[in-house]
Structure 1
């Protein structure tokens, strides 16, 4: 490269906003200090000597410039004309090669160009997308086999279609068309191996965008790239098909004549609701019962419960027995400890019992009520209650047998409507944390008793509300509620052997939905909210599978 001669370094730059890092012109302000310095009286002889010295230095500098321009340098042996002195002692440069010092503008000494002071960066809003004009591809694009002009043309095509599509909502997000156009163009460029395929893909994308339904909100499925919009439409269609309403899922309700087969309390049995006060016995204190766990006969008592817990009067296995082939023989082994059936229990605690499905005995503890009885006459219309809810209850052991410990109700979208612990009116024997997920400390915070919780549940459950659940007969018994419209996923997805055999909810969820619930490795118990939502999800899967409209 040629070296800079600095011939223009003394001239002011014609561009007042110049930002070139190495400008040929000067950007330095004229020094005002010289004009402001006070003049001093200097002898004329001194001023003349200084002037002669300055002129000699200027002449020497001019000769150097001329030598560099013409290529004649005395240091290389080229002849140069000697300057001659004038009568007044000054030196006059000689004329050589048609170049005269008199017609040459003597430049000032070379100066280093002064960079202008950098202006502070504008705020981030200054770099926002200019929505008033089509987008421009950024300079720092990733290497691509497609020429930049073709990509810019494709970007403009996409932007035109997006601007038309988003016209109704551009006031909500002015840069939406730019963002979508950039995303679609980048996606197309990344997936196209050559220019021909790229142009075809851009055309197809533009046609697809032009056929979309204009959006009316920012989360509309028509917003986004072709791929994003396709996925959003699939999700929206899936949600539409999965939407549960009374008309769509009424076909899955358990028929009334199947209630006895599936061991549901009969909602038309008035003997369960008409219990006289003399028949009521709130617990089984002093009665002989068979322990649910160890099958030993014992007397129900609330005395010395803590001491009996420490002594471990009941030794049992909490796991199930499954067949295994060991040393060529088939043996039934417990899942909790791996011991063979018949061996001493691996856990010790206190004896517990239940009334199982004896509805008459349960009614004497706490009488049943129908949904209509809980609601009462003239207490609101049908629109007051949900069309579809899912319910799951957790049980604990008390001196009254198995009692309701927690009730959870969710709507068709899985939003929790009610999640309440139940205050016990009789002594608690075991909160059954391994299966209920309830701890003793949590139960102490309960406020509502069973009748109050039942009344709260019927704020969402009406006479025609469909209740969805798994093994729902146990939940209705614990809640002492008689209801006709029920969907039991154990009935919708029956066991191969038929009733009373039932498939576990976790197995149905794993098979149909592909994920796990009720982790067997945890001793923290089930989540009633998760179980309730899972019954809804498997029912939605069934509705989609059957293409119910």
Structure 2
């Protein structure tokens, strides 16, 4: 009993931040750990084995969530490490994924553009000098290059339903203000975001990926894709593109030069991770990036991503062979709700991503995580 208490005390201290939502975790793991150590040690050496392992538990990083690598007994952690190793070793193939490809009608229901919109395309690449509605604050503004850095006051965080003073309320994740409180918490430039497929087509034309050519093709069967976007005078535009192959290797990761006449309004660094110096070294505009992508993907390639329709829209690609982790792991409340990629990564992979509130996301990291989720 005394050795069991030693283990319990260590687990209780280790799990201090997650015990409120998992009150029996320390006792459950102490019991299982004691049994593991009892079976694996000799009777004379049992006490010393427990004390030594209790010291190892003390050295673990304190977990912030139930899927953290520090949670579990010695056997749990070893099994999880082995599972991750085998997960990383799995190469996703066309045969693996074919049955997970979403029907075109399902893609359309989730906002994918499945046909080329009407119009010539590319005939209205910038809205400079025009009046638009700000996506952040809702005010009308005139789109112009070099906008004022403090002309817009807004909230960058989302609304979450929480208990406030015993009552349910919608609270901002950025500043903890409720939706009934006026005023924003951050200043920046006015920006706009196009959603109409015809308007997006006018900014830069959509097209399908080229048909597969054999036998000397360089295109791949499976590619995980993620993009980072910024706000410009031509709406939200792609600024970084990352591709991961079916084995988990990064095969493309590059920044995108803005089209001629399109100027940056806001780098959206908090979410995109993009900074001015990144685009200063970009050498290919979207058309040039698309040409390079055509050497890696074609109409038969299976594209993997999370809320992949957003990446395809910003790349102006129409594609019907998609595996979307937002659909593979549906939200408990059903459509149109979706689980965030960071939540899926934490729940299923025990991985923490998109943690920085200033450095932004990494499209290469996000693409890799979507691939691991499909492997899982």
TM norm structure 1: 0.51
Residue range with higher mean Cα deviation, 447-456 or 327-336: 327-336
SS at match of 2:210: helix
Q: Match for residue 317 of structure 2? A: 481
| 1:433 shift after superposition | 0.3
SS at match of 1:461: coil
Q: Which runs of 5+ in 2 are unaligned?
A: 1-39, 45-77
Determine which of 161, 166, 170 is the counterpart of 1:328. Answer: 166
Q: Return the alpha-carbon distance in structure 2 between the equivalents of residues 423 and 477 of structure 1.
A: 17
Instruction: Give yes or no for the alignment of 1:297 onto 2:140.
Output: yes
Q: 1:261 touches 1:500 (CA, 8 Å); kept in 2? A: no
Q: Cα distance 1:301–1:239, how it changes in 2: closer, same or farther (>3 A)?
A: closer
Q: Please provide the CA RMSD for this pair.
A: 2.6
Q: Return the alpha-carbon distance in structure 2 between the equivalents of residues 353 and 486 of structure 1.
A: 28
Structure 2 counterparts to residues 176-191 of structure 1, below 5 A: none
Instruction: Give yes or no for the alignment of 1:405 onto 2:239.
Output: yes
SS at match of 1:285: coil
C-alpha distance after superposition, 1:167-200 (max 9, x if no partner): xxxxxxxxxxxxxxxxxxxxxxx96789xxxxxx
Q: 2:87 touches 2:372 (CA, 8 Å); kept in 1? A: no
Q: 2:170 touches 2:178 (CA, 8 Å); kept in 1? A: yes
Count of aligned pairs:
300
Q: Return the alpha-carbon distance in structure 2 between the equivalents of residues 437 and 448 of structure 1.
A: 19
Q: Decide which structure has greater strand share.
A: 2
Q: Match for residue 370 of structure 2? A: 535
C-alpha distance after superposition, 1:201-235 (max 9, x if no partner): xxxxxxxxxxxxxxxxxxxxxxxxxxxxx99xx66
Structure 2 counterparts to residues 407-446 of structure 1, below 5 A: 407-425=241-259, 426-446=262-282
Q: 2:117 touches 2:197 (CA, 8 Å); kept in 1? A: no
Q: Return the alpha-carbon distance in structure 1 between the equivalents of residues 84 and 136 of structure 2.
A: 48
Q: Return the alpha-carbon distance in structure 2 between the equivalents of residues 410 and 236 of structure 1.
A: 18
C-alpha distance after superposition, 1:419-477 (max 9, x if no partner): 01000121110010000001111111111000111111121112211110001000001
Q: Match for residue 512 of structure 1? A: 348
C-alpha distance after superposition, 1:349-377 (max 9, x if no partner): 11000112x1111111110111017x8xx
Structure 2 counterparts to residues 61-80 of structure 1, below 5 A: none
Q: 2:88 touches 2:248 (CA, 8 Å); kept in 1? A: no
Determine which of 355, 363, 375 is the counterpart of 2:194. Answer: 355
| 1:281 shift after superposition | 1.0
Q: Return the alpha-carbon distance in structure 2 between the equivalents of residues 292 and 237 of structure 1.
A: 43
| 1:329 shift after superposition | 3.2
C-alpha distance after superposition, 1:284-337 (max 9, x if no partner): 1232211111111112122x52xx11xx11000101112233333333221111
Determine which of 112, 116, 120 is the counterpart of 1:276. Answer: 120
Q: Return the alpha-carbon distance in structure 2 between the equivalents of residues 328 and 390 of structure 1.
A: 44
Q: Cα distance 1:271–1:239, how it changes in 2: closer, same or farther (>3 A)?
A: closer
Q: 1:409 touches 1:457 (CA, 8 Å); kept in 2? A: no
Q: Cα distance 1:382–1:536, how it changes in 2: closer, same or farther (>3 A)?
A: farther
Instruction: Give yes or no for the alignment of 1:388 onto 2:222.
Output: yes
Instruction: Give yes or no for the alignment of 1:460 onto 2:296.
Output: yes
Q: Which has the larger radius of gyration?
A: 1
Q: Match for residue 547 of structure 1? A: none
Q: Return the alpha-carbon distance in structure 2 between the equivalents of residues 475 and 248 of structure 1.
A: 23
Q: Cα distance 1:235–1:501, how it changes in 2: closer, same or farther (>3 A)?
A: closer
Q: Return the alpha-carbon distance in structure 2 between the equivalents of residues 235 and 505 of structure 1.
A: 20
Structure 2 counterparts to residues 121-136 of structure 1, below 5 A: none
Q: Cα distance 1:294–1:381, how it changes in 2: closer, same or farther (>3 A)?
A: farther
Q: Return the alpha-carbon distance in structure 2 between the equivalents of residues 236 and 403 of structure 1.
A: 35
| 1:382 shift after superposition | 7.3
Q: Return the alpha-carbon distance in structure 1 between the equivalents of residues 123 and 239 of structure 2.
A: 21
C-alpha distance after superposition, 1:87-110 (max 9, x if no partner): xxxxxxxxxxxxxxxxxxxxxxxx
Q: Cα distance 1:329–1:419, how it changes in 2: closer, same or farther (>3 A)?
A: same
Q: Return the alpha-carbon distance in structure 1 between the equivalents of residues 317 and 285 of structure 2.
A: 14
Q: Return the alpha-carbon distance in structure 2 between the equivalents of residues 532 and 386 of structure 1.
A: 16
Structure number with higher relative contact order (C-alpha < 8 Å, ≥ 6 residues apart): 2
Q: Cα distance 1:340–1:387, how it changes in 2: closer, same or farther (>3 A)?
A: same
Q: Which runs of 5+ in 1 are unaligned?
A: 1-189, 195-229, 542-549
